[in-house]
Amino acid sequence: MLRDRLREGPVWALGTMSGTSLDGVDAAMVLTDGEEVFALGDTAYRPYSEAERSVLRAALGRWDGLEDAAAVVEGAHAELLAGMGGAELVGFHGQTTAHDPGGRGTCQIGDGRLLAHALDLPVVWDFRSADVALGGQGAPLAPFYHHALARRTGASAPVAFLNLGGVANLTWCDPSIADPAAPGACLAFDTGPANAPLDDLVAARRGLGRDEDGALALAGRADAAIVARAASHGYVARIPPKSLDRDDFAWALDAVAGLGDEDAAATLVAICAETVSAGLGHCPHPPARVLVCGGGRLNPAMMRALARRVPDGIEIAPVEDIGLDGDMIEAQAFAFLAVRVARGLPSSCPGTTGVAAAVGGGEISHPGDALALLEDRQG
Ligand SMILES: Nc1ncnc2c1ncn2[C@@H]1O[C@H](COP(=O)(O)OP(=O)(O)OP(=O)(O)O)[C@@H](O)[C@H]1O
Ligand SMILES: CC(=O)N[C@H]1[C@@H]2OC[C@@H](O2)[C@@H](O)[C@@H]1O[C@H](C)C(=O)O
């Protein structure tokens, strides 16, 4: 029984993330008891094919009629995870198609019951709904894992983690407080856009998936008036907790429509850096160092813009500087959170999502649970 195994000590959990960039599925193994990270294990990645990506792209912003997109997500995860042995539990984030915590809720597609059946393992999924139902933002959820990583490195002073995915999210955490859900241990929120508008710009203008190594942005000059407009957007000044949907800053794309490709890219990069810098102002104390994960850390234009725009005395460094794999932090986070949920520990708290009290979100499905669903689907 999983419950008995979890009582005995740490287990190997397999976490997955299919992020807002729609590039593919990340998977990573973590040996953990949901409180401490004992070891980091194998990782794997499966890109979505062009055809799959266009199905997922069409699903963005939608709350229903998502069967085809869900099948793409379920199929890609089953294929990737089937090749990874040794896990006792899976944390399955799924793919966010729409996020409106103050309104319609939050929507992640991919059915964990089917994955439990395909892998013959218990699967924790639907991590965000319970938090939203209790008045939280449902995001970001990686902060408790960031806190565990900060403790693992032996840090005693506050540490900041910045994820530059489609959207940017910042975690400030105090590793001297053992319980991540305790008051003062974690403050986290989405700062603004990261790669999503830039990816959309180069897709529309150049037919490319991304601004490889920031080549376009490095050749351009940011439009100061547009950057200032983004920095004065109501979201940026709003006191956290707060979270964004992938396309909440899509208006920035319209704002750069009159600029050449290079200047438009440089402007979108500067908007990311400026809104992160403003976000740092919401932290209880300025951190000495911001550890960056997510694909944006591989874009030198973004890293330089950040280094230039954050307040003096704050160093910007990739998480590789402390021996971590910046592509896998989110997948590892959902392995860690799966164990927390299975142990009945919270996965979010007022400081991370604004939920009224610490809550453990997530449904646990076991291999047999899919039988009724499969019979239903077969008609
Ligand atoms: N070499 C590179 N040069 C420029 N940009 C890059 C490079 N490598 C990755 N990226 C950017 O990183 C993005 C992918 O980042 P990541 O996988 O962290 O996002 P995600 O997990 O899908 O998003 P989120 O964290 O918002 O859910 C790509 O879409 C691209 O914009
Ligand atoms: C609703 C949703 O899926 N949000 C994502 C998205 O991508 C980055 C940022 O916005 C963050 O809030 C979150 O993902 C990470 C994994 C999180 O929950 O920590």
Q: Which of 93, 195, 327, 329 to mutate to test the pocket of ligand 1 (most atoms within 8 A of CB)?
A: 195
Name which residue sits closest to atom 11 of ligand 1, judged by CA: 295
Phi, psi torsion values for 265, nearest 5 degrees: -65, -45
pLDDT for the residue numbered 376? 73
Q: Which of 18, 20, 23, 145 to mutate to test the pocket of ligand 2 (most atoms within 8 A of CB)?
A: 20
Phi, psi torsion values for 203, nearest 5 degrees: -65, -45
Bin 61: left if φ > 0, else alpha if -120 < ψ < 50, else beta: left
Helix (H) or strand (E) run with residue 82 in it:
helix 67-82
State the distance from the centre of ligand 1 to the C-alpha of 294, rounded, in angstroms.
6
Lowest mean pLDDT segment, chosen from 27-31, 42-46, 171-175, 371-375:
371-375
| Residue 21 marked as a ligand binder | yes
Q: What is the mean pLDDT of residues 56-60?
A: 98
Q: How far apart are CA 131 and CA 168, in angstroms?
A: 20
Q: Smallest Cα–Cα separation from 136: which of 247, 245, 241, 63?
A: 241
pLDDT band at residue 225 using 50, 70 and 90 as cut-offs: very high
Q: Over 80: is that where the pLDDT of 372 sits?
A: no
Percent of the chain with pLDDT over 90: 94
Rounded (5°) CA angle 377-98-89:
60
CATH architecture of 143-322: 2-Layer Sandwich (3.30)
For 69-88, what is each residue's pLDDT tens digit?
A: 999 999 999 999 999 989 99
For 251-279, what is each residue's pLDDT tens digit?
A: 999 999 999 999 999 999 999 999 999 99
Q: Over 90: is that where the pLDDT of 202 sits?
A: yes
Q: How far apart are CA 274 and CA 215, in angstroms?
A: 20
pLDDT for the residue numbered 331? 98
Name which residue sits closest to atom 13 of ligand 2, judged by CA: 140
Q: What is the mean pLDDT of residues 53-59?
A: 97
Q: How far apart are CA 67 and CA 95, in angstroms?
A: 13
**CB of 299 sitting under 6 A from ligand 1:** yes
Q: Indicate the domain borders of the chain.
A: 2-138+351-378, 143-322
> Over the range 284-319, which residues count as b (16 or more CB within 10 Å of their CB) and which as e?
eebbebbbbbbbbbbbebbbbbbeebbeeebebebb
Q: Can 2-138+351-378 and 143-322 be said to share one CATH topology?
A: yes
CATH architecture of 2-138+351-378: 2-Layer Sandwich (3.30)
Tell whether ipTM is more than 0.95: yes
For 95-143, what is each residue's pLDDT tens digit?
A: 999 999 999 999 999 999 999 999 999 999 999 999 999 999 999 999 9
Q: How far is CA 311 from CA 15, 117, 307, 368, in A?
A: 34, 50, 9, 53
| Residue 24 marked as a ligand binder | yes
Report helix, strand or coil for 299: coil
* 364: β partners: 124
pLDDT for the residue numbered 379? 64
